[in-house]
Amino acid sequence: MYQDFNSIAGNKDLIYVHQGPFDVTADPGAWRLWNKPRNARFVNILVIGGGGGGGGGGANTGSAIAAGGGGGGSGGATRLYVLASLLPDQLYTRAGIGGRGGSGQIRGGSAGTAGTNGTQSYVSISPNTTAVDLICLANGGNGGGAGATATAGAAGAAGAIATVAASPGLGLGVHTLVAGSAGIIGTAGTAGTNSTAFTTNYFCCGGAGGGGVNAASSVVRGGSLTTGGTWPAFTASVSSNGSDGLNAGINLESLLLTGNTMRYPLVSTGGCGADGLFLNSGVGYDGGRGGFGSGGGGGGGVNGSGTSETGGRGGSGGSGLIIIQSIL
């Protein structure tokens, strides 16, 4: 419904939020409709692509290095500030999904799998992704690679920066185009490298790499998320799954439309990498989930003397996000 001149616009009239689904196996391709308030003067649009999933951990025999999976890359972010009169009365939005975490390697069996890529988020004048119809888009981050015995999983690539050629509607206003940030490579017998938030892309970041087990069958820690200042620390306890990132699994549509108080600005972080594990049988630790647009953490590697040790799963990447703010 359009904004009536004689009524006072509420929060739901002026702020529109479309968050993609999380922990799904395929992009449902769902479009939603945004109606421009009649008395809007400016429109501020933020679009973030989905984060890539973390790679699964490797598995190896006892007294041999077992490597962790790589962290997923984060999605890119696009901002557009435009005169409301230059936009049509209705726009269509489609928020990307976060990539699924990859499965762990089975010792003596199937190889582990990489995390899947996050998908693009779109704002369009019609429910399609034809370039000439697009007002904004943001690319998704790539999934982290799987650990393979003693070979660490590769870091997931950052979501590529969007271009005006791919979404010509950006030329209608003042726009900012930001690439995502890459995930962190898994570890092969040494301590995992941390992922640092709020550097390349303020809104989201890549996931940390998974830990493994060294040749002495000593557990190797997965990577953590470093923030600094008064922000919370994201680290897992020793011998455990990787911690989920900031704003992982949060229903942002409910949070933003109800005007709830937030302790921190609306940003997210990637998931932490899982620790390695020495086993006689069973499954290793899983990587943490990423917050919206951020990458999942890598799964932990395992070694042991059994017959079916399985590396941990990578964490899921965070869903894409679209926020449209109307300014009266």
DSSP code per residue over 239-288: SSPPPPPTTTT--HHHHHHTT---SS-S---PPPPPPPEEESSSB-PPPP
pLDDT digits (tens, 9 = 90+) for 123-178: 999 999 999 999 999 999 999 999 999 999 999 999 999 999 999 999 999 999 99
C-alpha span between 224 and 186 (Å, rounded):
12
Q: How far apart are the first and last CA of the chain?
A: 16
Q: What is the pLDDT of residue 11?
A: 54
Q: What is the pLDDT of residue 259?
A: 67
Query: Who wins on pLDDT, 220 or 8?
Result: 220
- Please give the single-letter amino acid code of residue 304: G
Query: Who wins on pLDDT, 36 or 198?
Result: 36
pLDDT digits (tens, 9 = 90+) for 230-265: 888 787 667 789 999 999 988 888 888 876 677 788
Tell me the whole-structure pTM to 2 decimals.
0.93
**What is the band of 210 on the pLDDT scale with cuts at 50, 70, 90?**
very high
**Which pair of tokens denotes residue 10?**
């509420």
